[in-house]
């Protein structure tokens, strides 16, 4: 049957019974790829490949899809707000509607992306390679096609620096960054060895005997430190430039840690320059040592490249209530057992009293190492009531520490699967077709 395009100035989209009228001029460049394909149809067979049915007389296209979901998607592509899940609708069903109309998971708000990842992980839903021609986030919005190439380049750069599994270049960059972190940590640890400091002192003049008074670039360890700092600084600047939201970038915990790890080096350099080689440097020596030890924060930079450390941080973030509850349990038990132990070991019989339990704060140390079953052996009860109390303290510590562990464990497993699934999603494109 020959397909004759109607001469009407508008077309009607019937989605699940809801009718939407669009002008033919908008139909060609409509943000939703499936709708815009109607403009290029040359036969009725082509039309039926795009929609479910077609009424030639009324120029109406029928789509047997979820009307409420299409309403949310239509508001989003027209620039009215952000894309979130429709109420009382399954996340997977809504995502299926998104893929049908030509959108992908990246268009969702971050909170909804997390819900989608959790749901797909729970139901073991997987996706194949992305269908060619799927629109990106920028192209899906009105006027985004012109700026799409530059934004796509920035997005590619951002993923290269933020997502180590997104591409081969990102993996190489992450590997180089890990090498710099390891080298800087090895140099930091070696610089505290007595032999290292003695050898470094032999290479200095008599007036420059302190390890921390030398300029950062006057010896091999200082040169290595300067190179590592230069790499970390350049990496941080580039990530800041390509970030979408500069304020959000500054607020992220890992970026704050990067800043704390980099800033002390420049502060120590400035202090060395301004104090010079005089008596003021001796007063600044302690400050310089503290600043140099802050380089230990570089170890946390590894969390950017390892899912295990990311899982630990995310678990602590989500389980802060359980962690506070655990601390409250320990503090309450410590207050009770320390008071009782001080009374039994020191307060009842002053002649045969245990000097280690002379005060409640001193007894708190014994309680905490007993509740955690560490038992250094530096102090212990000597009376029979005190030993009985020590046994009760140990058993109570085991029980109290075990109570919130179940919640923390389940949160850890959930965070691990979530981050692992998200990493796998970034390492490959999302599918264009939904597989049950």
CATH number, residue 114: 3.30.710.10
CATH number, domain at 315? Answer: 1.10.287.70
d(CA 422, CA 374): 38
Residue 235 lies in a domain: yes
Domain assignment of residue 65, yes or no: yes
The predicted structure's pLDDT at residue 393: 93
Same domain, 253 and 376: no
Q: At what angle do helices 67-77 and 91-101 cross, to 10 degrees?
A: 60
Domain total for the chain? 3
Same domain, 195 and 254: yes
Distance, in Å, from the CA atom of 247 to the CA atom of 320, rounded to the nearest integer, reads 24
Nearest to 72 by CA among 88, 94, 91, 100: 94
Beta strands in 39-158, from DSSP E residues, in sequence order:
53-55, 60-63
Burial state string for 282-311 with b = 16 or more CB within 10 A and e = fewer than 16: eebbeebeebbebbebbbbbbbbbebebbb
Q: Return d(Cα 373, Cα 352) in angstroms, integer.
A: 27
- Please tell me the predicted confidence (pLDDT) of residue 286: 65
Among residues 305, 328, 361, the one where a domain terminates is: 305
Say yes or no: 385 and 347 in one domain: yes
Within-domain flag for 256: yes
Q: Is 244 a domain residue?
A: yes
* Domain region containing 324: 310-417
pLDDT of residue 282: 47
Q: Which of 277, 305, 333 is the last residue of a domain?
A: 305
Cβ-contact 228, 180 below 8 angstroms: yes
Query: Which pLDDT does position 340 carry in this prediction?
Result: 92
Q: How far is CA 295 from the centre of its chain?
A: 21
Q: Is residue 58 part of a domain?
A: yes
263, 283, 305 — which closes off a domain? 305
Please tell me the predicted confidence (pLDDT) of residue 199.
66
Q: For residues 370 and 266, state if they share a domain.
A: no
Instruction: Give domain status of residue 157, yes or no.
Output: no
Ordered mean pLDDT values, 10 residues apiece, the chain (436 residues): 56 86 72 79 83 85 89 82 83 86 81 77 48 42 52 77 76 85 83 72 51 49 83 88 82 81 80 59 59 72 76 84 89 92 81 81 91 87 89 92 85 80 57 35
Domain match, 287 and 191 both: yes
Q: Between β-strands 60-63 and 10-15, what pairing exists: parallel, antiparallel or unpaired?
A: parallel
How high is the pLDDT of residue 368? 92
Model pTM score = 0.54
Q: Return d(Cα 204, Cα 267) in angstroms, integer.
A: 23
């Amino acid at each position: 049957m020959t397909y004759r395009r109607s001469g009407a100035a508008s077309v009607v989209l019937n989605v699940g019974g809801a009718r939407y009228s669009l002008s033919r001029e908008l139909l060609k460049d409509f943000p939703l790829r499936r709708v815009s394909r109607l403009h290029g149809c040359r036969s009725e067979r082509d039309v039926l490949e795009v929609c479910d049915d077609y009424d030639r007389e009324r120029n109406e296209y029928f789509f047997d899809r979820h009307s409420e979901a299409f309403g949310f998607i239509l508001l989003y592509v027209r620039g009215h707000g952000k894309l979130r899940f429709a109420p009382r609708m399954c996340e997977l069903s809504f995502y299926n509607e998104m893929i049908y109309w030509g959108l992908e998971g990246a268009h969702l708000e971050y909170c909804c992306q997390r819900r989608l990842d959790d749901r797909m992980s729970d139901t073991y839903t997987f996706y194949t390679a992305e269908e060619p021609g799927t629109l990106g986030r920028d192209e899906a919005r009105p006027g985004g096609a012109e700026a799409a190439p530059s934004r796509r380049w920035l997005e590619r750069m951002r993923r290269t620096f933020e997502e180590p599994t997104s591409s081969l270049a990102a993996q190489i960059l992450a590997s180089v960054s890990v090498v710099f972190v390891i080298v800087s940590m090895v140099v930091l640890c070696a610089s505290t060895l007595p032999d290292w400091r003695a050898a470094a002192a032999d290479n200095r003049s008599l007036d420059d005997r302190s390890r921390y008074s030398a300029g950062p670039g006057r010896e091999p360890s200082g040169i290595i430190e300067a190179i590592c700092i230069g790499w970390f600084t350049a990496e941080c600047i580039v990530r800041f430039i390509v970030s979408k939201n500069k304020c959000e970038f500054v607020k992220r915990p890992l970026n704050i840690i990067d800043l704390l790890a980099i800033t002390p080096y420049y502060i120590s350099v400035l202090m060395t320059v301004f104090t010079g080689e005089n008596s003021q440097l001796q007063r600044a020596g302690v400050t310089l040592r503290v600043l140099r030890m802050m380089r230990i924060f570089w170890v946390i930079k590894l969390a950017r490249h390892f899912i295990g450390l990311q899982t630990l941080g995310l678990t602590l973030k989500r389980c802060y209530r359980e962690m506070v509850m655990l601390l409250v349990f320990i503090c309450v038990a410590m207050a009770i057992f320390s008071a009782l132990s001080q009374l039994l070991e020191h307060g009842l019989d002053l002649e045969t009293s245990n000097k280690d339990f002379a005060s409640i704060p001193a007894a708190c140390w014994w309680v905490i190492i007993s509740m955690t079953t560490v038992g250094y052996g530096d102090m212990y009860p000597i009376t029979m009531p005190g030993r009985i109390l020590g046994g009760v303290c140990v058993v109570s510590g085991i029980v109290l520490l075990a109570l919130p562990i179940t919640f923390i464990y389940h949160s850890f497993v959930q965070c691990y699967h979530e981050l692992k699934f998200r990493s796998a999603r970034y390492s490959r494109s999302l599918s264009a077709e939904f597989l049950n």
